[in-house]
Structure 1
Amino acid sequence: MSRGRMLIAYKGDTFLAATCYSYDPPLSEERRRARYIEQALVYNLQQARLWPRELATELWTMVAGLLLEDCAAFTAQEQLRECDSAEEYTIDLTQPVYASYVKIDGRVYVKNLRNTGKTDFHMLLTPGICADENEGMDMFVAEDHLGIRQIIFASPKRCDEWCRSHSSAPSAWWKHISRCDIRSTVAIRSDGLKIRDIKFGRKGSLALAPRIGWQVPVSVSPTIIDLLTLKIPEEYPSNLRMRFFDCNGPDTTGYFVATDGARTLAILSHKQDQQVDPSYFEDVDAPICFWIYMPINKGEYLTDICRRAGSLTVRTETIGLTFSTNRGRTVVFGLYGHENVDFRRVAALPHTPCRVYFNQANSPGRRSVELIALESGRAAINQDRIPSPPASVSHYPYTQSNEIWIHSSCSMRHLTLVHACVDKSAPHQPVIGMLLYYTDGHRESVGQFRLDWSIESITVREMDRLYICGKRTKQNWGYVAAATTRPPLNQAEGCWLDVAQAGLLEWWFSSRHSVLFYNNSRLN
């Protein structure tokens, strides 16, 4: 048994209760926590003044990296030393409510709620706020995988205003509990170090809204639609978490959609001059994940979101989304093929900025995007004049019956720049897609594309041609090895596709292959 595991076993139930995750946090949060512990440890080591000589910060960072697990365990153990054991108790909301806080790995959590204040407590609720003569207060609760981060009481008349200007709680999920759904007392569950959960004795029928955590606080919960049935679900799983992406903003330049070919896994919007954190891409936990980029050009905006449903095995399921724009352009995020596919409009979007919510793919019982909600716009409206998905010019590159292929294409006329995307996680470093710029200022994307895997752009002059090299892995799977404007010196090294600035380039890809077509010529 490792030393860290022995420490956990030593502290027993209280340690386990305080450090147990209620769900798997995103990779970005785990990395933030590790960086915080490492930086704090480096600082403490430098300030100790016990060492025979000073060391450079880089050396202390190396030492701290070896001690992260033990440091995290010791820190939690010390914090628990002065704490009470896990307990459940009630708070009377007709009395003043006070809160104390504790900082854990750089995040602040609510340590205790009490009806009587002490020197280190802060008042959250003034007396009589839930009395009969008072209109009552709505309650907003921010929580993450370790416990309650914030509790806010807000007047129903000011909920919308507060939601627009709320204080940040990164990586937390917000639940909005209406005053109509709260009795005068609430049950508090503590793990000894901090508050883990708040149970509301709801009035009347069981409310569904408090079961949902939103990425940001919402004054009115948007109506959630099941993508498959296009109906409002009769019930939601406990601890459902709903993310969002901003849509049709004036600074929106594109959308990233993650898919394994059959399921939608995540959606991100990209804004002008935004530096995208690589962890946004890495947070998607799936054995197969393709990131597809849809550039949005000047004057262009999304008009429709549609879903495709079909039977991959036995049961009918959602097999991808499409986004359509006012320019008549539709991008399919998922496997190619339109036969025996139920194609339905999910939402008609306003021209003005709005937010589209979708369930976190690792929410309980949900391993993909299956629910959607609109902040504004029309959901599940009539199915007239649905945008048509694009059709391929080339033939489907069949390999085996269960292989999922995704299709994309782009114009090759009047190029100015090409950004290639290289899979840096693969040993052979294949080019998996390209983002192309044109003389009129618009952009198109083929294959897969991630900003953090984009390499230095290739300048394309008026008479230049693009030369794309294809090779095969040891397993005989085709991939793109390079894209350049320089003619190959040795045509025997790999296969080459000679692409002039005319016509259409098609890029098919699966989890194993990339196949390109241009002017009836096939690469790989």
Structure 2
Amino acid sequence: MDTEARNSSPDSNSLSVHNPDLDHTSNFRHDSPRDSRRDSPRDSPRDSTDDSSRDSTDDSSRDSDHNPNHDPDYDSDDGWVGVCVPPRCRLCTYRIEPDEWTVATDNNGEVSSSFVNCFLTTHEEVKLKKEFRPCTPHCSHDARYLEGAVPGYHADCFNYAGTNLSHDLLSATAYPFEPVPSYDLERERATTQLLATKIGNIWRRLPHELSLMIAKLLVREYTIATMQGLYTTHHQPDGVLDFSQAIWARYADIGGFGYIHELSTTGGPCFRKLYDPEITPKLGALYVLEDHLGVRDLLLRDPEGNRTESSPSCYQPGSWWRTITNPQKLKVEHDGVKVRKIEDELNNTSNLRNVTFSRPMPPGEITALEQHCRHLTALRPGTPLESLQMVPFHINGPGVYGYSFCWSYGLVYFHAHCEGEDKLAMYNDFDILTEDPFWIHLPVTPGEYINSIWFRRAEFNSSNALWIVTNKGTGKIIGTTGAHPITPGTSFLANNSDAKVEWSRLIGPLNEGQSVLTYFNLSAGGIQVFATPHPSSAAVPGPEPPSSLRSNYCEDTCLWFGVGASLANAVEIITFRKKASCLPTKIRFMNPYTDDWGTHSPIIGIALVYADRTTTFLGQWRLDCETSQINIEHAKAFYMAFRLVGPKTQQPYVSEIRLYAPSTSSEVATAWRWVKIDLSRPDELEWWSVKAWFSGSHVAHGDRGSFADTAGQVLTTIGNQ
């Protein structure tokens, strides 16, 4: 480990900072106790009584992430300004987890006292007149009362690196986009293995298991030392590479992954030749492999598509490929540690040329996608196209048995389920990247395929939706429904009576056996670009509107998902219970009758299985849910118990489904409400889910339901039934 680099004297570009932690002029105070992931950082003044800094729970900080125009009661006339602190350490480059101790530096180099990373709190520094607001990965940092984003650090990383931080070294850890959490896990595993091997080479008698345990504790410190050891003030300047000469590359290992440390036309020790004009006088395409920290490798192809001398790094999810067609001269940017960016000197700014893809995309395929590229939502001001990462969505692909769609204040992710896939990685990623994501599932039976996909554009991104139609007439809405029928040209949101919807076809109509490989940009803030090589037919009439579900209970401030299905010929109910590990960390569940707080996990959706073995899904569905089967083939009724989410939202959720009624008053009191579903009635069973802090649920069946304004029609007691 390069401790010499860490303790070296600051250069002319170093940043001499004043840390209030060192002279105890400010302290941290949190309003409510919580279990921290780590103990307080070393040398942090946790017990000081000075009130020069404070943290306060502020719901408006949550809203500001999703509503840049939201302006809470904030007095800016006294010189106070707010700044966002993104949840990624600019020293070790790893994510700052919730409840970890954090330090931030403002634009003037002043250092905050340590505070807990929680986006529900605001940390105030009286001496600096700054409000440090931990934000989310998809925060735009552009609210009126904010001064933008500032670097944040793990408090332990900051103490390890020292207070003399180089501006240039921090620029080497800047990131234009947030990587998926699984990529961080892969980097951590690679670093652990690399460091454990080095430890084993030094202490040969140490068991490998102990080396791994030690290495896992030193991942962050090792990454910081590596970056400091690689950094040099005399780094390669930005320049232009001319493909009329041979091109060589030297690599460096950072966090277990290789990056291009230097590009040269002369070569030298430890350099590898990437291109020789005498062997390949003309190039057809250059593929640049990069991630959020910089350029990892180059792949060169001749006009016939053959590979040249380069041998690219193995692809890992989280790395992205940028295509440069017919490269002649390249602009190269260096950040002192590695090559940060490579782009065509001609600066081709066509629609998709500057975005990155999850695989090397030949120029011809990009051209086909450009012809049918749609912007589902407007790009945020100042968002460059090169910050978009495009991932595939294979419609009607081989072995597809269903589709899942993630929604979090807008459409976020599409996924086609195939046999043999890693079924849980995407759930883990979006549980971290988004706030309580809502997953909607569309199953397909053998012989069933998607015929067309329609997009509903509304005034607000949170009201956009998809309407998917299969060849068997099955249709499903992917998005919110509200309290009104979803009909083109009519209002559909209870809190926005003037909103108009506009339907347009994204895909289709497709024929049997016809598959389409489409692409969309991966973003926790919502899908913005959708591209397909298959043109849609505007001449085909629009879709029939979905079932006109009408909720008896809809709060104006909530976003509702509603779906209904017939109970006729249903023989089985499959329940999907969300695992406690997937629940929002700030949500607890309350029994209002006994004030008993617990960690009861909710039933977030059900599947109705019919006699012909077809299946309809109501509510949410995730592959990592705990499932149970209830046979209702010969039953006359079943019963649903509801509890409340507390203490703020008071939204109900389904806690239990069973075939028998509660028999005692104490059993009745274990739930907020019991609902009897009579299977002899032909009415549809409606399932309403709400997106507001937690996906609570309501159900309705004829004139019975769990809605608050129908309390006389539900089973609050059993004796009269």
TM-score (norm 2): 0.62
> Secondary structure of 1:400's partner?
coil
Counterpart of 2:345? 201
1:511 corresponds in structure 2 to: 691
Residue number in structure 1 paired with 2:254? 104
Instruction: Tell me which stretches of 4 or more aligned residues in structure 1 moved more than 6 Å.
Output: 59-62
Provide the secondary structure at the position in 1 that maps to 2:270: coil
Q: CA deviation at 1:417?
A: 5.5
1:259 corresponding residue in structure 2: 407
Q: Which moved more, 1:396-405 or 1:42-51?
A: 42-51
Q: Equivalents in 1 of 2:588, 2:422: separation in Å?
A: 26
CA shift in 2, pair 1:332/1:423, >3 Å? farther
Aligned match of 2:303: 156
- 1:523 alignment partner in structure 2: 706
| Structure 1 residues 368-387: aligned runs within 5 Å | 368-374=526-532, 376-379=533-536, 381-382=537-538, 384-387=540-543
1:496 aligns with 2:674: yes
Which one is further off, 426-435 or 319-328? Answer: 426-435
SS of 1:387 mapped into structure 2: coil
- State the match for 1:26 in structure 2: 180
**Partner residue, 2:331:** 187
Q: Is the 8 A contact 1:141 1:151 kept in 2?
A: yes
Q: Partners of 1:3 and 1:281 in 2: how far apart?
A: 26
Secondary structure of the residue aligned to 1:283 is helix
Q: Is the 8 A contact 1:430 1:481 kept in 2?
A: yes
- Maintained 8 Å contact 1:99/1:113: yes
Distance 1:157 1:415, change over 3 A: farther
CA contact (8 A) 1:304 1:324 kept: yes
Q: Any residues of structure 2 matched to 1:390-405 within 5 Å, and which? A: 390-393=546-549, 395-405=550-560
Q: What secondary structure, in the 3-state scheme, does the structure 2 residue paired with 1:506 have?
A: strand
Partners of 1:469 and 1:481 within 8 A in 2 = yes
Q: CA deviation at 1:443?
A: 2.4
Q: Secondary structure at the match of 1:451?
A: coil
1:307-318 aligned at under 5 Å gives the runs: 307-312=455-460
Name the SS for the 2:480 alignment partner: coil
CA contact (8 A) 1:99 1:110 kept: yes
Assess, with a 3 A threshold, how the Cα gap between structure 1 residues 86 and 480 changes in structure 2: closer, same or farther. farther
Gaps of 5+ in 2: 1-18, 20-154, 491-499, 590-600, 708-721
- With over 3 angstroms needed to count, the CA separation of the structure-2 counterparts of 1:283 and 1:36, relative to structure 1, is farther
2:287 equivalent in structure 1: 140
Change (3 A) 1:48 1:511: same
Q: Does 1:471 align with 2:638?
A: no
Kindly indicate whether residue 626 of structure 2 is the aligned counterpart of residue 455 of structure 1: yes
Q: C-alpha distance in 2, partners of 1:459/1:443?
A: 14
What amino acid sits opposite 2:355 in the alignment?
I
Q: What is the 5 A alignment of 1:41-60?
A: 41-42=195-196, 44=198, 48-49=202-203, 57=209
CA contact (8 A) 2:377 2:528 kept: no
**CA apart distance, 1:447:** 0.7
Contact 2:183–2:317 (CA<8 Å) still a contact in 1? no
RMSD: 3.4
Taking the TM superposition and a 5 Å limit, the aligned residue runs for 1:419-430 are: 419-422=575-578, 424=580, 425=583, 426-428=587-589, 429-430=601-602
1:171 Cα offset (Å): 1.2
What is the rounded CA distance, in whole Å, between the counterparts of 2:679 and 2:208 in structure 1? 54
Matched, 1:216 2:359: yes
- Give the structure 1 partner of residue 518 of structure 2: 356
Q: Once the two structures are superposed, what CA deviation does each residue of 1:352-387 show, in whole Å capped at 9, x if it has no partner?
A: 23222112225xxxx32122101x3224x3153222
Report how many aligned residue pairs link the two structures: 493
Amino acid at match of 1:354: V
1:245 aligns with 2:393: yes
**Residue matched to 1:77:** 228
Aligned to 2:75: none
Which deviates the most, 455-464 or 87-96?
455-464
1:158 to 1:419, Cα distance in 2 relative to 1, 3 A: farther
Query: What letter matches 1:74 in structure 2?
Result: A
* C-alpha deviation, 1:213, in angstroms: 0.9
Question: How far is the alpha carbon of 1:277 from its aligned partner?
Answer: 2.5
Please identify the structure whose Cα radius of gyration is greater: 2
Match of 1:434 in 2: 606
Instruction: Read off the aligned partner of 2:690 and give its amino acid letter.
Output: S
Partner SS for 1:74: helix
Larger RCO, structures 1/2 (Cα 8 Å, 6+ apart) = 1
Q: Indicate if the aligned counterparts of 1:507 and 1:514 stay in contact, CA closer than 8 A.
A: yes
Deviations 1:138-193 (A, max 9, x none): 11112110111221111233279xxxx996343112111111xx3x3222222233
Residue 388 (structure 1) aligned with residue 544 (structure 2): yes
Quote how far apart the aligned CAs of 1:287 are.
Answer: 3.5
